[in-house]
Amino acid sequence: MTKACRANWKYINGYVWRRMRIYSDVGIWTLIEDNKLAENLISNIIDQGWAVVEKPLKSDGFHLRSIKRIIINDKLGYYDRDITLFHELVHIFYGDKVKDEIVVEWIARKIRAHPQILRQAIRKFGLEEKIYDKPSYQAFSVYECNLDRQLEFDFAKGYFERFKVTIMDGMYSKVKKL
């Protein structure tokens, strides 16, 4: 059973880096560095008959190898649901090779951050798509990304005009009036 790791990324990342030598033989970078392998993992799991079931749980989720099910708490928000899904996928891939839940969480978060892998997992398992951060925006946005125009989200309508701010190359800069 998995209770999602509620630690922040800085803690998890530091924890894993301090233990990197322990896991060097296991190949914890395998799924992170090879997007195609991660995509194939998802396809293979689907082809083997695995499915996701959302239902009320006391934990965030778990998987049952005997019936090929990933059970996820239906009360989780979309981000936590997706992290839990990837957490269980990492358990399925590595089996008993990686038992440390924080390391599993680290791998899961790294993989989920790839938009194409996130898109494939959510769509293949038939889960609802939701935009909640940059990878999910890149995975599920219906808009083409045009770097020559200002991107404005619904929750920030009028913000850029009101405060005379523009975002270019990921940096904030004040717009000068001439």
Write out pLDDT tens, residues 69-79: 999 999 999 99
Distance of alpha carbon 19 from alpha carbon 67, whole angstroms: 33
| Strands 165-168, 171-174: pairing kind | antiparallel
State yes or no: pLDDT of 1 exceeds 70: no
Residue 75 Cα distances to 2, 6, 61, 80, angstroms: 15, 16, 11, 10
Given the DSSP bridges, would you call strands 51-55 and 69-73 parallel, antiparallel or unpaired? parallel
Using left for φ > 0, alpha for ψ between -120 and 50, and beta otherwise, residue 95 falls in left
Domains of the chain: 9-140 (3.30.2010)
pLDDT greater than 70 at residue 25? no
Give pLDDT, residue 145: 53
Q: Which pLDDT score, from 0 to 100, does residue 87 have?
A: 94
Residue with the larger pLDDT of the pair 132 and 172: 132
Give residue 163's pLDDT: 58
pLDDT at 85: 97
Greater model confidence, 172 or 117 = 117
Looking at every residue in the chain, the average pLDDT score rounds to: 80
Report pLDDT digits (tens) over 137-170: 999 987 655 545 555 565 656 655 665 555 554 4
Task: State residue 46's pLDDT score.
Answer: 94
| pLDDT digits 0-9 by tens, 28-51 | 667 677 778 888 889 999 999 999
Q: Which two tokens stand for residue 53?
A: 């079931």
68 dihedral zone (left: phi>0; alpha: psi -120 to 50; beta)? left
